[in-house]
Amino acid sequence: MKYDVLIIGAGPGGIFSAYELIKRNSRLKIGVFEAGNPLDKRKCPIDGKKIKTCIGCKPCSIMNGFGGAGAFSDGKYNITNQFGGTLYEYVGKNRAIELMKYVDEINCAHGGAGTHLYSTANTKIKKLCLQNGLHLLDASVRHLGTDINYVVLENIYSELKDKVYFYFNTPVGQVLKTADGYVAKTEKGEYEGDYCIISAGRSGSKWMESVCRDLQIPTKSNRVDIGVRVELPAEVFSHLTDELYESKIVYRTEKYGDLVRTFCMNPKGAVVNENTNGIVTVNGHSYEDPARQTDNTNFALLVAKHFSAPFKDSNGYGESIAKLSNMLGGGVIVQRFGDLIAGKRSTESRIEEAFITPTLAATPGDLSLVMPKRILDGIIEMIYKLDKIAPGTANVDTLLYGVEVKFYNMEVEIDENLQTLHKNLFIIGDCSGITHSLSHASASGVHVARYIAQE
């Protein structure tokens, strides 16, 4: 039960820590503790027929297990410092990009080669955006797609499984500091390690708070992003998605000066449910395989909310809004843009009459009963702006699913090695509050592994 390194969480952060540690020193004894299942046992029961909505499995196969929250994602690895996290503030801009490129190389070497790497460099779309008050952020995007992303994870697991001790269905309850290391307490036993890397992701956010409280690691509150997922015919955005795949476009609203941004664009993709701690929100993904693609493109429009004193619980605020949509719709609500503007709810028949077929079975309803006015006004303003660069966006039949909430973990106090005030205790990936993407979380794992290996 004694390890050199304990890793808590087998999402991208944990996987890349283990991968890099073993690569640098194959003699290391590493224990990885994961609350969820191995990859091949991760099955969400929603089949659209017998089970249509989330039934709250524990652990949730979408969020937990080998591959973490990203296992069934679209597998978009954005190589950029402009979004996806603030890792560069800790490790430096060049180093952050170098780490993300390295992660890309590993993904390519494990099944991702041949997938497309898109780039905003030299695109005319940037000018088109600027001419319409919109701002396109710079990035290179490796799009693995949900299918290839899975293959890459399978291949990395095959390589690691005989070199690393994996404990699945083993949530860590407590992390204790001892005289010469750390102990991970689980229901199956206690495991000691000289080093401990915590990479518990978003699903581990509440647990992370308790660890920080117990070990007196300072934290500060983060923002929450609230919005909707937009779904429209793929042709409307094809000139952007064909060239860039994903375009992160930011707009400052005229009414309130809030920033609204596009997020997680899925050309020819599908809208899906996401369950975070029992609250059902919306997300999206798409496949690289043309046979599995749809006729629609979806992306989120999000407004960031920061709170200052006396209110600090930004995640609680986002949860309350998501709960309201769950209360009214039994899950996610869908509304046609035209109905929203006309001030009426969408109904089954209005959705059926539309010239677009929804890819998610959501409850037709009225998003204006759920979303705060300020946020909804910002989203509507942005849809009209996007209509200027992609005519058809503000069509009556454009579907809006709500709510999409991006919860961020509170920011944990860590140094440039992502080490806490406790020597040899590292907090990485989304649970640190400094990353919120596959590439940044993976890069943080590599960064810490290199530091430990060098030590």
Ligand X SMILES: Cc1cc2nc3c(=O)[nH]c(=O)nc-3n(C[C@H](O)[C@H](O)[C@H](O)COP(=O)(O)OP(=O)(O)OC[C@H]3O[C@@H](n4cnc5c(N)ncnc54)[C@H](O)[C@@H]3O)c2cc1C
Instruction: By CB under 6 A, name the one of 157, 166, 207, 407 that touches ligand X.
Output: 207
Specify the residue, 199 or 247, whose C-beta has the smaller distance to ligand X.
199
Nearer to ligand X, 181 or 204 (CB): 204
CA distance 148 to 20: 21
Q: Which stretch binds ligand X (CB under 6 A): 67-75, 115-123, 156-164, 337-345?
A: 67-75
Binding ligand X (rule: CB under 6 A), the pick from 61, 120, 199, 398 is 199
Q: Is the Cβ of residue 284 or residue 365 nearer to ligand X in the bound state?
A: 284
- Rounded CA separation 8/377 (Å): 41
Q: Does 203 bind ligand X (CB under 6 A)?
A: yes
Residues 239-278 that bind ligand X (CB under 6 A): 264, 274
Closest by CA to 360, choosing from 406, 407, 294, 301, is 294
* Pairing label, strands 189-198, 2-8: parallel
- DSSP letters spanning 371-398: S-HHHHHHHHHHHHHHHHHSTTTT-TT-
Residue 64 binds ligand X (CB under 6 A): yes
204 binds ligand X (CB under 6 A): yes
Q: How many CB atoms lie within 10 A of CB 363?
A: 18
Q: Is 235 within 8 Å of 53 (Cβ atoms)?
A: no
Question: Which tokens sit at 104?
Answer: 């890309």
- Which residue lies nearer to ligand X by CB, 91 or 376? 91
Q: Is 433 in the site for ligand X (CB under 6 A)?
A: no
CB 229 within 8 A of CB 302: no
Closer to ligand X by Cβ: residue 234 or 282: 282
For residue 195, give the amino acid letter. Y
Residue 33 as a binder of ligand X (CB under 6 A): the answer is yes
Token representation of residue 125: 């779309």
The yes or no reply on residue 438 touching ligand X (CB under 6 A) is yes
Query: Least CB distance from residue 352 to ligand X, whole Å?
Result: 27
Residue 216 CA, distance from chain mean position: 27
Rounded to whole angstroms, how far apart are CA atoms 64 and 62? 6
Q: Which of residues 2-31 bind ligand X (CB under 6 A)?
A: 8-14
Which window, 19-27, 155-163, 197-205, 341-349, contacts ligand X (CB under 6 A)?
197-205
| Residue 108 DSSP code | I
Residues that bind ligand X (CB under 6 A): 8-14, 33-36, 64-65, 68-70, 73-76, 78, 84, 171-172, 199-204, 207, 264, 274, 283, 285, 429-431, 436-439, 441
